[in-house]
Amino acid sequence: MAIHFHEEDLPSADLFGPGPIAVDTEAMGLDPHRDRLCLVQLSDGRGDEHLVRFSPGSDYAAPTLKALLGDPGRLKIYHFARFDIAIVQHYLGIMAAPLFCTRTASRLVRTYTDRHGLKELVKEMLGQEISKQQQSSDWGAPEISDAQRDYAASDVRYLHALMEKFEERLARENRRELAQACFDFLPHRARLDLAGWPEQDIFAHV
């Protein structure tokens, strides 16, 4: 297992095998209009993670990364896809779907708890411990530390295994069709966030 660090784009699409790819992002904050995209993390589930860092003033050209994320034939796995696909859309100009979201799946089948963070899912479902110490660190710094790199990589390291577990639970609870409808809607939810409706429920009566 190794963590590979790249500047501005992936060097080649051949870095990844076929099948679903796990994706995560790091930014300067949680508002895509204000907070720039700093890092995109990827894994094909075979053991290596790839981190693509964007510098201040980047033009976010990244043709290889865009082709990978925009491939309609490749499933993307996220934890809290709503944010990741919104910031990717805003900065890279592509909708990185189709998708599976482990946080959405967790809310559908782990109704016995209100703890749906990645750390909790990895511990309960995979028996592994991950650190969130670097979660609020400065992702726009000139140098990304080894601790930051390991944290960023861990955000995609377990998503394939989690998806497998959730597929089993969704089927067991007869909620797979509902989950897919949610996954299909998430790109539209992200577009609403970017268009100015991040908090409002436009389906509400009042």
Q: Flag whether 202 is in a domain.
A: no
Give 174-192 pLDDT, tens digit per residue: 999 999 999 999 999 999 9
Q: Flag whether 126 is in a domain.
A: yes
The segments of the chain whose pLDDT lies below 50 read: none
Q: Flag whether 132 is in a domain.
A: yes
Q: Flag whether 17 is in a domain.
A: yes
Q: Flag whether 205 is in a domain.
A: no
Residue 150 belongs to domain with CATH number: 3.30.420.10
pLDDT value at position 135? 66
Q: Flag whether 203 is in a domain.
A: no
Look at residues 101, 89, 91 and name the one whose alpha carbon lies nearest to residue 191. Answer: 89
**Would you tell me the crossing angle of helices 102-109 and 176-195 to the nearest 10 degrees?**
130
Q: Flag whether 33 is in a domain.
A: yes
Give 115-135 pLDDT, tens digit per residue: 999 999 999 999 999 876 666
Instruction: Find the domain containing 21 and state its range.
Output: 3-195
Rg, C-alpha atoms of the chain: 16
pTM of the model: 0.96
pLDDT value at position 109? 98
As for how many domains the chain has, the answer is 1
Q: Flag whether 201 is in a domain.
A: no
Token duo for residue 119? 């750390």
SS3 for the chain is: CCEEEEECCCCCHHHCCCCCEEEEEEECCCCCCCCCEEEEEEECCCCCEEEEECCCCCCCCCHHHHHHHCCCCCCEEECCHHHHHHHHHHHHCCCCCCEEEHHHHHHHHCCCCCCCCHHHHHHHHHCCCCCCCCCCCCCCCCCCCHHHHHHHHHHHHCHHHHHHHHHHHHHHCCCHHHHHHHHHHHHHHHHHHHHCCCCCCCCCCC
